[in-house]
Amino acid sequence: MAFLFDACSKVPVTGRRQFNLLPESQMMGMSFTQYKDVLSQSSVLPENDERTIMVKRVGNKIAKAAQEYLDKNNQSKRTKGFEWEFNVIEENMVNAWCMPGGKVAFYTGILPITMTEAGIAVVMGHEVAHAIARHGNERMSQQLAIQLGGVGLSKALEEKPDVVKNIFLSSYGLGSQLGSLKYSRNHESEGDKMGLLFMAKAGYNPEEAIDFWGRMSEAGGEQPPEFMSTHPSHETRINDLKEFLPEALKYYTKP
């Protein structure tokens, strides 16, 4: 009963009801292991690198703001067991991701598009939102059902560990471009709204999100028609952000 109560819950900010079949404790256990593996196989920038310092500063501010929002809205359990960690990987890939438990990675390839600390906050807020909203859990639950017939996670790990690992990594966008993450359009839109609010509460002007996605649109080249894509078109995304902006601005106080 306790598991069912936790599995069926409302997503912060949007209030959407979701049902996740995978225990978050197991998801975080996999996350911590995979995060170490990714870092060990990557060229991680040192702690004293200016880019690392900036990403960590933004990450900690966004995480603090998100936690304050959750605490105020009686949703603190969303981050139970989280161990926030922020790293920058030297690779020319326009990508960033956040695994369950607050394990975040930025690739240097996205930094020329973020341009500023506020630009980093746009991406950071969006990725932190995915983790807090447990979008990866939803996505992985769906993929396990499709590929393994709904076998329980423990059984799947025992019988087909490589398949489970690949599903897990693809569910969090590792190895893919930022615009091609394995989230649904609803997840992406939800991440945008939550991220906008979190960055505003952290002291970053949420209007920067409009400029950032404009730059992403210019850098991304041609996109497939929206009905063929798992994510909103840049135009749709920008229009949705503009619509939600007044709500996010309620949480923004100029430094």
Burial of 228 (0-12, 13-18, 19+ CB in 10 A): exposed
Q: What is the pLDDT of residues 105-162, one digit of tens each?
A: 999 999 999 999 999 999 999 999 999 999 888 877 766 665 555 555 556 555 566 7
Mean pLDDT of the chain: 83
Please, which pLDDT band fits residue 176 given cuts at 50, 70 and 90?
very low
Cβ atoms 109, 91 nearer than 8 A: yes
Q: What is the pLDDT of residues 46-60, one digit of tens each?
A: 999 999 999 999 999
Interacting residues of 32 by C-beta distance below 8 A, sequence separation 6+: 83, 101, 103
Cα separation, 174 vs 181, whole angstroms: 8
**Per-residue pLDDT at 209:** 96
